[in-house]
Amino acid sequence: MARVAIVTGGTRGIGEAISLALREAGMIVAATYARDEARAAAFTAATGIATYRWDVADPEACTAGCARVAAELGPVDVLVNNAGITRDGTLMTLDYAAWQAVIDTNLGGCFNMAKAVFPGMRERRWGRIVNIGSINGQAGQYGQVNYAAAKSGIHGLTKALAQEGARAGITVNAIAPGYIDTEMVAAVPPEVLDKIVARIPVGRLGQAREIARGVAFLCAEEAGFVTGSTLSINGGQHMY
């Protein structure tokens, strides 16, 4: 029987690539989104992958949404926490709302979604959770104190939750992408982007499908001995 996977923020960018990779691996995929209904409808029309709308920062919405996916597609075996936002600014310019929005969505969303699916995974004695962190959560980034804090928190959450899930057959891992050729990175001014690429040893931006392949590996049946790990996919830009 095919595994059911939820990919948050799964209709665009890295999330879209992950949704497609998991479907290619034989899973039934539900891709969530927060706002762009037209984009989600186009994604479903092009791929046949079901989409569901809710805000991962809302705990009750996550519980209800996951229950709906389970009722319509089957018990959720795989969760990929990919949804995230940016509200960039230095500490001196960042307001409290921008800080809280990023923490609530990027880090709180991982907690809310895991909280919703973890009990069922534990009952069935099998589960895969993959959290999308960031190179900026490992190395920091000027003007992203909120984003770096949230992504760094994801890496810690991953290690702690992996210990809770291990005996129940649930693996919890993270992927820390570097700079990937997505709409978010495309919005960076060219002169800034050139400097970023110059610091990447392989000499280019990553591709969303390269992140998706890492996720597919961590979600596979054969990956049961990998848990509590963070896989860095960044072209050699940051190594530790």
Residues in the chain, overall count: 240
* 147: annotated active-site residue: yes
The sheet that has 76-81: what strands, in order across it?
50-53, 28-33, 4-7, 76-81, 127-132, 170-177, 230-233
CA gap 133, 165 in Å, rounded: 19
Give, rounded to a whole angstrom, the gap between the first and last alpha carbons of the chain. Answer: 39
Catalytic residue among 33, 52, 147, 179: 147
CA gap 77, 126 in Å, rounded: 7
What is the 8-class DSSP label of residue 144? Answer: B
What is the 8-class DSSP label of residue 34? Answer: S
Residue 203: both structure tokens together: 């000499």
Whether 146 contacts 87, CB under 8 Å = yes
Residue that is written with structure tokens 């931006």 in the block: 205
Whether 230 contacts 133, CB under 8 Å = yes
How would you class 192 by CB atoms within 10 Å of its CB: exposed for 0-12, middle for 13-18, buried for 19 or more? exposed
Nearest to 10 by CA among 103, 100, 79: 79
Residue positions annotated with a catalytic role: 147
